[in-house]
Structure 1
Amino acid sequence: MNYDKEPELTGRIVFPNDPQYNQARSEFNTFFNRFPLVIVFARETQDVTNAIRWARLRDVPIRVRSGRHNYEGLSVLDAGIVIDVSEMKQVDLDSESGIVTVQTGLRDFELAEVLGKEGLVVPPGLCPTTGIAGFTLGGGQSSLSRQWGLAIDSLVEVEMVDANGYVLYANDRQNCDLFWALRGGGGGNFGVCTSFRFRTHQIDTVAYARVDWEIQDLKSVLREWQQYTLPCADQRITPLLSIVSGQLPQLFMQGVFLGSENELRYLLQPLLMSSPPKEVTIEEMPWLEAAARIGATQPDTPESFKSVGPFIGQLLPDKAIDIISYFIREAPSSFTASVLFHGLGGAVAEIGNTETAYFYRKALSNMSPWATWDAPEGAAQGIRWVEDFRKAMHPYTWGVYVNTPDLLIENWPEEYYGCNFERLTHIKAKYDPMNVFHYPQSIPPEFCD
């Protein structure tokens, strides 16, 4: 690498001796405790370029960060540089075309609020504090997935700084192979994405539903809930189902429906009849209020946790539902155990498995067992519970969502990417042949058996 002058770090720079260091290095998953050499909070794209070139010149390993929500804490590392884009939050909406250009430091709900005021939306994640960068690059499953597809299905262009510090643009006409890879290949593999251009969708009042049952109704409720994820089901709703263990167990579904309250109430009748609900809320409200209600049921503060998100490709038989019930019922008390089922299909499945790097287009849903603990003794049992759960359900699942990485998965290339993995390695070799952007389970350049 030959640069005209030696690069210097720019932006907000945090070193280990700075008072802000401990806060700057922290992750949403507090189980991880890593100590980078320096953290660069970029304020503009040039700061990212400078950080990459500075690190390359000194052979310092790089990690890329937006919302800090990586399940395995992979957006921070010991003795390396963290390039953090979370302070890059500009938004530019072209009201005539409906295209919005956003910097990648925005959080999910921040983008939802900005667009919601204009009666527009890009399908956001469930958790309000997730960064849009990692969320989008892994695919972007949302509460509007069946209606409008994944976040990447609304993505029209990416601005990215590559391993040499050069700014590239990827879209359907320019660097189209990279654009394919960035739509589902996961964050931090090919470069640092600094802005996205999205096609927006019009949205205003929606119908929102939340239905609560007793935990012992799990089997009958889950059996019926699955029907709303089938190809023949009304795709105006993306159904969610949450199961929580503990002293105050919970079983509830939520969903946002693009239609009226009466239509939604009629649509949900089979589910309401599966077991007598404890409480039913079905009402029309502004989209942002519905999104906030779903967000309120997600983790909202940093915590120690373990989770993973396998896909479900067909209706679960009673034997599989019995496994789920067993793991919830028998979860040790040293941690809180939960499972989130996220309905897919609909518009997600209208795109082929190989048309973007996100492979599991035909999945009916995504299942995420989650263990969280306060006391240190809960860590080992919580991690084991999630892994045992994933393995017990393996005969009934199909791959794993790359945005829920699990370093204990051995055959991760196939689990995350299916038959798209080999093509991803070739694109990696083209845009990052020296494997500058690497971490455990990152895409390597080229593919070797």
Structure 2
Amino acid sequence: MKSSNKDMSSKRRRLLQCAVGITFSYGARKQMLASAQAPASGTLARVRPGEPGWPSETQWNELSQQVGGALVKVQSPLATCLKSPDSDECRQLFKELKNPYFLGDELGLTQSLGWVDAWISMPSVYAVAARNTNDVVAAVDFARRHNMRLVVKGGGHSYQGTSNAPDSLLIWTRKINGITLQDAFVGEGCEGHTPPVRAVTVGAGALWAHVYDAVTTHAGGYVQGGGCMTVGVAGLIQSGGFGSFSKAYGLAAGSLLEAEVVTADGAVRIANACTNPDLFWGLKGGGGGSLGVVTRLTLRVHELPETFGAVNMTVKAASAPAFHRLIGLIVDFYQQNLLNPHWGEQITLRHDNVLKIAMVFQGLSRGEAQAVWRPFMDTVARTPDDFKVEFSPFKIVATSARDFWAPTMFKRLLGFVSTDDRPGAPKDNVFWSGNRGEAGQVLHGYESAWLPAALLQDDRRQALADTLFAATRQWSVTLHVNKGLAGAPDEAIAAARNTATNPAALDAFALLIAAAEGPPAYPGIQGHEPDTELARWNARAIGHAMDEVRKLVPQPGSYLAESDFFDAQWQRSFWGSNYSRLLAVKDRYDPDGLFFVHHGVGSERWSPDGFTRFG
């Protein structure tokens, strides 16, 4: 452990005092929502620092010895800026906040710095920087015995703020990051029941960039993970997990073969189709940090296709009526040509009458991909007064699938891939340049809705196009076509059906997202404070856009990892008909609610901060 209690407490108080005044007017909407939902009185309260029952210095030292010195007193690097906003250290910090690997390596930070009127990234008091499962067990047992607020962080990418909580003990799994390939894996207890399959076993703290490097670049296989390479493996799997090629390979959770998890009683359990199958099902999309601490996962390795590729272009419409027609064209084109396992990623419809295509494909050559898009391009070209296409010699590119995630010179020169620029950083610390904007962001608003494939039928496509156009009059919207499983192979849909993910995803052709964010900022840091007025304006505009969508799809369901912090119907939105079954799993493995996250399974029984349980 580092520094004295006195010094640490003083620094922590300064951090909290500087932030609190703005933080919790900044969080006013959250508090209003909480007071409207919470019961009048509590029956159980977790302990906070300085209160009777908070562990003594001797008890903390005992935990430190038990975990081999892996207990750390946490301080946010932002404390320096709160004290000296004009210092060189603060200027350097705000540059580093745009590096997702820097954020992931900092105990006291999260990948997003907050959400205006919702939450702010705040450090725990202590953290166990777990190196193995035994460290996790020790931390879970300690939190349970001392009635502490517990939080779990791997990659730290939660938009809902679930990987941080002030006044808590943090279990940080980032250092549990081993990756092992297996040619013939059979789950524990499944001998004689399931055939051996090619698999990869991954520590909970591993990041997808490193898993792709091991499985695809070096071993020529494919594992279904996330599109963003710096997302943690365990968090994505427990969210359900969509990646760029989910239209071909399904949910990341659908490829989960086995997990090792530490439950609230401190037991280390194996969860697979044969052993603890109810817990296994719950971990596949039930949300991270709710059922236990996952320490290890084994995932199916699929056959790698010959090629991966990308299509990038923008089309600018000359007027609103022309843009309305362009939306109809892309909706028709998608239904006729792209609703199949080859295609994924995003079609953005912008408020300024711009259509942006940022899609990927698998199993097609560059020539085949060009042939797919030629009819659309020809249609657009026939009316040059209405549409202007931004051409590029690299509008449609393809590469060997084995090289897709490798940081080749070609991709670096074109700006597709960025690297961790810290001195001595590992060479495999790479990320898509397009994700840089998310590093250190402060969210203004974020809502999503699954759009059923029935909207693509001949008699409904015009209504869909009309709705999308109406939404863009309020805010830009993006169709994430890889995050709806309509058009996927039957086996991928069957595997997804056997997860806790909202069944609405199974017959959706896309997840529509409307969102806004600002650059790295933090309340109380002069010159780096969030623009709350702009954020609230943007949030209202997003809400108006989603109101248009809900006219067409009244209760659409929402992806829990990319959703509205303030969704009052979150149980239905995130899990639909699966919620009651998930709650039963929660009650079996965590009956006292040790594991709490915002809008997680069973969280309706607690105050919004997770400190008070209601009767």
Using the size of structure 2 for normalisation, the TM-score is 0.65
Does residue 1:219 correspond to 2:327, yes or no?
yes
- Name 1:379's counterpart in structure 2: 535
- Cα distance, 1:323 vs structure 2: 4.6
Deviation at 1:158, TM superposition (A): 0.6
8 Å contact kept, 1:112–1:288: no
Report the Cα distance in structure 1 between the residues aligned to 2:246 and 2:277, rounded to whole angstroms: 24
| Corresponding position of 2:448 | 309
The aligned amino acid for 2:560 is V
Cα 1:261/1:297, change in 2 over 3 Å = same
Tell me how large the CA RMSD over aligned residues is.
3.0
1:240 corresponds in structure 2 to 346
Partner of 2:8: none
The answer to whether residue 169 in structure 2 is matched with residue 46 in structure 1 is: no
Please say which structure displays the higher CA radius of gyration.
2
Question: What's the CA shift for 1:236?
Answer: 2.6
Query: What is residue 279 of structure 1 aligned with on the other side?
Result: 391
Partner of 2:73: 15
Residue 261 of structure 1: which of 340, 362, 366 is its match?
Answer: 366
What CA distance in whole angstroms lies between the structure 2 residues aligned with 1:403 and 1:225?
29
Aligned-partner SS, 1:8: helix
Q: Deviations over 1:301-336 (max 9, x none)?
A: 2211232322111336445544544554555xxxxx
* Letter aligned with residue 332 of structure 2: E
Structure 1 partner of 2:5: none
Please say if 1:347 is aligned against 2:489: yes
Q: CA deviation at 1:207?
A: 4.0
Aligned residue type for 1:386: I
- Is the CA contact (8 Å cut-off) linking 1:426 and 1:445 kept in structure 2? no
Is contact 2:181–2:200 with CA below 8 Å preserved after alignment?
yes
Distance in 1 (CA, whole Å) between partners of 2:564 and 2:543 is 9
Counterpart secondary structure, 1:140:
coil
Matches within 5 A, 1:125-204: 125-203=226-304
Deviation at 1:300, TM superposition (A): 5.0
- What is the CA distance between 1:154 and its match in structure 2? 1.3
CA drift at 1:206: 1.1
**Cα distance, 1:121 vs. partner?**
1.7
Letter matched to residue 210 of structure 2: E
- Alpha-carbon distance in 2 for matches of 1:340, 1:223: 10
Number of aligned positions between the proteins: 436
Residues of 1 paired with 2:78 and 2:146: CA distance? 24
Q: How does 1:23-42 map to 2 (within 5 A)?
A: 23-31=106-114, 32-42=120-130
CA spacing shift, 1:56–1:20, aligned 2, 3 Å: farther
Cα distance, 1:137 vs structure 2: 1.0
Task: Give the letter for the 1:238 counterpart.
Answer: G
Match of 2:169 in 1: 81
Deviation, structure 1 residue 297:
2.5
d(CA) in 1 for partners of 2:134, 2:560: 29
SS of the aligned residue for 1:275 comes to helix
Displacement of 1:287 in angstroms is 2.5
One-letter identity of the residue aligned with 2:341: Q
- Read off the aligned partner of 2:130 and give its amino acid letter: A
Q: Aligned equivalents of 1:289 and 1:304: distance in 2? A: 33
- 371, 389, 392: which is aligned to 2:548? 392
Deviation at 1:109, TM superposition (A): 1.6
Structure 1 residues 16 and 193 mapped into 2: Cα distance closer, same or farther (>3 Å)?
Answer: closer
Q: Does the CA-based 8 Å contact 1:212-1:278 persist in structure 2?
A: yes
The answer to whether the 8 Å contact 1:213/1:275 transfers is no
Residue among 222, 225, 234 paired with 1:121: 222
Which is further off, 420-429 or 350-359?
350-359
8 Å contact from structure 1 (residues 101, 197) kept in 2:
yes
- Residue by residue, what CA displacement relative to the aligned partner does 1:353-411 show, whole Å, maximum 9, x if unpaired? 75221122121111121201245133222332333333331233420011124231111
* Structure with the larger helix share: 2
List alignment gaps of at least 5 residues for structure 1.
Answer: 1-5, 332-336
Counterpart of 1:442 in structure 2 is 600
Partner of 1:418: 576
Q: Residues 225 and 409 (structure 1 numbering): CA distance in 2 closer, same or farther, change over 3 Å?
A: farther
Deviates more, 1:11-20 or 1:413-422: 11-20
- Structure 1: distance between partners of 2:275 and 2:298: 14
Q: Which amino acid aligns with 1:186?
A: G
Q: Give, in whole Å, the separation in 1 of the partners of 2:379 and 2:467.
A: 20
Q: Which residue of 2 aligns with 1:364?
A: 509
- Structure 2 gap segments, 5+ residues each: 1-58, 81-105, 115-119, 185-196, 318-322, 382-388, 407-415, 418-431, 520-529, 606-615
* Map of 1:3 onto structure 2: none
Code of the aligned partner of 1:301 = A
8 Å CA contact 1:428, 1:445 repeated in 2:
no
The amino acid of 1:47's aligned partner reads D
Secondary structure in 2 matching 1:429: helix
Conserved 8 A contact 1:373-1:382: no
TM-score by length of 1: 0.87
